[in-house]
Structure 1
Amino acid sequence: MKKNIFTLVFALISSLIYSQASLNDYEMAIIPSRFQFQKEDNQYRINSTIKAFLKQKGFEAYVSTDVLPEGFLDYNCNKIFVNVIEESTMFTVKLRIEFKDCKQAVLFTTDIGESREKEYAKAYNQSLLATLKSFDKAKYKFSGKTYYDEEAQEKLKSRDREDISTEVIKVTKSEKEVTYEKVAKIAKPETSETFLKVMDQITKKEFVLYKTTKSAIYLCNQNGKDGVVFAKDAIWFFEYLENGKLISEKIDIKF
């Protein structure tokens, strides 16, 4: 009963946090090399100007044609997506900027910047600079939010979709022993460098943890449940989805 109540409260809190997502939850930004109104990449230097502006504000910003860091595109929900919308008239260039999350929810929109300059290059740059000035209204300050557990979940799903390797766990209740059976094709032989085995000191359940690029984040399949094992304030948790709900279990493991 207590476990069900904890799960419900955890789900409600997670839902509330997600619903209150803001620009402050992100420190990475991706800018397309060409917006819909542009005829060529970085026309009028709009895209590179936005990149430079966001970097000044503290973002790790990239244009889509840049050489991106390894793994940058493996998971998209830890970054914002920038879009510039043109609302020009016959004699006036008007631009505004939208900042969206991976679900296309608008987190912030700048005021419209406009210019009546006759030369297009100058007009677009003046309009862009004018709309960027209103970015201060967002009062951006990175909250420090991390997405490590979500990234690990996405990598786990990706691994399953690619059918690289899967572990099926069979539990013999009478002997309380866990055996592992390989049932999928393995692209590369696994070694002790890629996984480790630990035991819950209370339940005596054995966990096979697959290493990720984060030292405190592991992919895990426990009794057929795909999830992640991670540490929060020196306490370890096993989280997985069950019937569409996020289940979080505290576990007592030592390395």
Structure 2
Amino acid sequence: MKKIALFLFIVFSNLSFAQASLNDYEMALIPSKFDFQKEDNQFRINSTIKAFLKQKGFEVYLSNDVLPEGFTDYNCNKVFVNVVEENSMFLTKLKVEFKDCHNVVLFTTDVAESKIKELGQAYNQALLTTLKSFDKAKYKFSGKTYYDQEAQEKLKGREVENVSEEVTKVIKSEKEVKYEKVEKAPKPENNQPFVKVINKITNEAMVLYKTTRSAIYLCDLNEKSGVVFAKNEVWFFEYLENDKLVSEKLDIKF
């Protein structure tokens, strides 16, 4: 486990162990209903925040959206958005919080208020005002990756016998390993996203574990822990061997 973490640190050198920052996150999740709302997206508050954050560069979803595959497999690679209501008798007050998976607040907008009596108008006025202070965050995605943490979570208790989505055969050449898809395989009962690659000559199995990125898989083979990924439509298996990075070119056709 330490080996794969070290490997991924080398491959994705922009990984940082510094104090968490809003800039370290590209994905955001907004609840479809906040505590003060009586129904989903009441007064269009949730969808307004979603549209706002998309303009700021986030990949953002409401909790009741159709979420992309793997989005909820690992939570610590995204921020969680919450709207806090601080109403008084004659004022509607709101602020927006951005938290990490450990409930640590990364950024909070200024509290904004509205004196409008009609509740829907008051919420929207306060929301638009508080969102203006988001510029204080000076948000710019740092490019940080979370593949090492995700790897440790997904490789815990893994079962090589669980195969999902596709079985492939391997034809080995002198310089490359070639993969060709041959058939679909039933999904395992626990629905874990594994892809098992079989070497037809040696019957050796290479098991690929999906990540939240479609072109990146985690891999464990003969005590070699690394990643299989595509670069300019060419696939590679990279791993550490004697503390040195080894890169093997693969011809994969999924």
**Per-residue deviation, 1:188:** 8.4
Task: Tell me the SS of whatever aligns to 2:48.
Answer: helix
Equivalence for 2:17: 18
Q: Which runs of 4+ in 1 moved over 6 A?
A: 185-189
**Per-residue deviation, 1:116:** 0.9
Name the CA distance, whole Å, in 2 between partners of 1:115 and 1:189. Answer: 56
Name the CA distance, whole Å, in 1 between partners of 2:162 and 2:151. Answer: 21
TM-score, with normalisation over the residues of structure 2?
0.67
Task: Tell me the SS of whatever aligns to 1:18.
Answer: coil
The structure whose residues are more often helix, as a share, is 1
**Residue type of the alignment partner of 2:84:** I
The structure whose residues are more often strand, as a share, is 2
Give aligned pairs, total.
205
Change in Cα spacing, 1:26 to 1:119, as seen in structure 2 (3 Å) is same
Quick check: 1:195 aligned with 2:189? no
Q: Percent identity?
A: 58
Task: Tell me the SS of whatever aligns to 1:254.
Answer: strand
Gaps of 5+ in 2: 1-5, 170-180, 182-195, 250-254
Equivalence for 2:155: 156
**Residue type of the alignment partner of 1:250:** K
Per-residue CA deviation, residues 94-149 of structure 1 (Å, 9 max, x unaligned), is 11111011121111011101111111111111111111011000000111222334
Equivalence for 2:175: none
Equivalence for 2:133: 134
Gaps of 5+ in 1: 1-6, 167-183, 198-205, 240-247
Equivalence for 2:43: 44
Q: Are the counterparts in 2 of residues 207 and 222 from structure 1 also a CA contact under 8 Å?
A: no
Alignment of 1:137-216 (within 5 A): 137-157=136-156, 160=158, 165-166=159-160, 191-192=168-169, 194-195=196-197, 208=206, 210=208, 212=210, 215=215
Higher relative contact order (CA 8 A, sep 6+): 2
Q: Which has the larger radius of gyration?
A: 1
Equivalence for 2:239: 237
Name the CA distance, whole Å, in 1 between partners of 2:205 and 2:56. Answer: 43
**Residue type of the alignment partner of 2:73:** D
Change in Cα spacing, 1:189 to 1:109, as seen in structure 2 (3 Å) is closer
Q: Are the counterparts in 1 of residues 30 and 63 from structure 2 also a CA contact under 8 Å?
A: yes
Name the CA distance, whole Å, in 2 between partners of 1:58 and 1:73. Answer: 20
Equivalence for 2:248: 254
Task: Tell me the SS of whatever aligns to 1:117.
Answer: coil
Equivalence for 1:220: 220
Per-residue CA deviation, residues 192-242 of structure 1 (Å, 9 max, x unaligned), is 353367xxxxxxxx994526465554321544x8x54468x9994349xxx
